[in-house]
Amino acid sequence: MNTEKRIVIVLPAYNEAAFLRPNVEKLAVFLKSRNLPAKIVIAENGSIDNTRQVAENLAEEFPGVVSLMSLKVKGKGNAVISGWLSNQADIYVYMDSDLSTDLNALPEALREIFSGSDIVIGSRYMRSSRVIVSRYRLFFSFFYKQIIRLVFNSKISDFQCGFKAANRNVVNEIVPRIQDGCWFFDTELLLLAERKMFKIKEIPVNWANQPGRKSKVSPISLSIQNIRKIITLKKRFNGEGF
Ligand SMILES: Nc1nc2c(ncn2[C@@H]2O[C@H](COP(=O)(O)OP(=O)(O)OP(=O)(O)O)[C@@H](O)[C@H]2O)c(=O)[nH]1
Ligand SMILES: [Mg+2]
């Protein structure tokens, strides 16, 4: 894909030392093979393994392509939001650094943004999506999205897939209004954008957990936290007259 647009891809990374190098190399090779002049920003905070060192080495080995942001505040949302807000670009992408979403979604997402979508999200719930996930995780994730759809009257099918792209309007107008810095941030992003009538396009993705990697999420405690966050956001929407 030949593009003059500036593309930034933020990879949130926390304790990813074991997987970061192969994944960043894979992404860099992919970008080159597709002629995509994107910058990769590794957004790391407080890892207790040597993720930061691995990221520094990668930034040295891929000058002008890979850079590192070391953040003080914890949370995946904070990492993505800081990575997006502190880089000038035309298109902003984030993907989980374990590359659980197949990279073929990237050119498709960019094409959709070029043709006028404000936000493109990977969805694991479309007919042609291919997803390898345990029934246990599937249960929580399905239940979560159904609750959100009901409470907020949303049309979105997957709030939490770790693959999203947005244009500059979204980053200027919606991202600064996100209040959650952890796991709820992308649900908030999508609900705010949907309310403001931004054009959101869902694309099917192939999705699988990286073999051997342990998730950083505990579904039960996350569900409890999320219920509180849903109530708070609903109140905020009512109060602010969104
Ligand atoms: N910078 C930063 N990144 C984080 C933090 N927590 C998680 N991440 C990153 O966020 C991405 C997603 O983490 P996962 O553990 O796969 O969580 P998940 O994808 O929501 O859950 P699974 O469905 O179990 O994979 C990975 O790239 C993590 O390294 C954090 O506190 N800070
Ligand atoms: Mg994951």
Exposed (0-12), middle (13-18) or buried (19+): which is 154, by Cβ within 10 Å?
middle
Candidates 104, 103, 1, 96; CA nearest to 43 is: 96
Active site residues: 186
Q: Could you tell me the distance, in angstroms and rounded to a whole number, from the CA of residue 172 to the centre of ligand 2?
A: 27
Sign of CA dihedral 141, 138, 74, 88: negative
- Mind listing the pLDDT tens digit for each residue in 73-98? 999 999 999 999 999 999 999 999 99
Taking residues 9-24, report their average pLDDT.
Answer: 97
Residues 6+ apart with CB under 8 A from 119: 164, 165, 166, 167, 170, 189, 190, 193, 198, 199, 200, 201
Candidates 132, 195, 187; CA nearest to 160 is: 187
pTM above 0.85, yes or no: yes
CATH architecture of the domain 7-240 equals Alpha-Beta Complex (3.90)
Three-state secondary-structure class, residue 114:
helix
Ligand 1 mutation pick, 131, 137, 216, max ligand atoms within 8 A of CB: 216
Indicate the domain borders of the chain: 7-240
Question: Does the beta carbon of 14 sit less than 6 angstroms from any atom of ligand 1?
Answer: yes
Q: Which atom of ligand 1 is nearest to the CA of 182?
A: 31
Three-state secondary-structure class, residue 40:
strand
Q: Could you tell me the distance, in angstroms and rounded to a whole number, from the CA of residue 227 to the centre of ligand 2?
A: 20
Q: Which ligand is nearest to the CA of 183?
A: 1
Question: Does the beta carbon of 202 sit less than 6 angstroms from any atom of ligand 1?
Answer: no
- Mind listing the pLDDT tens digit for each residue in 135-183? 888 888 999 999 999 999 999 999 999 999 999 999 999 999 999 999 9
Q: How many angstroms separate the first and last alpha carbons of the chain?
A: 38
Cross-strand bridge partners of residue 65: none
Q: Which atom of ligand 1 is nearest to the CA of 141?
A: 23
Q: Which ligand is nearest to the CA of 12?
A: 1
Q: Which atom of ligand 1 is nearest to the CA of 160?
A: 20
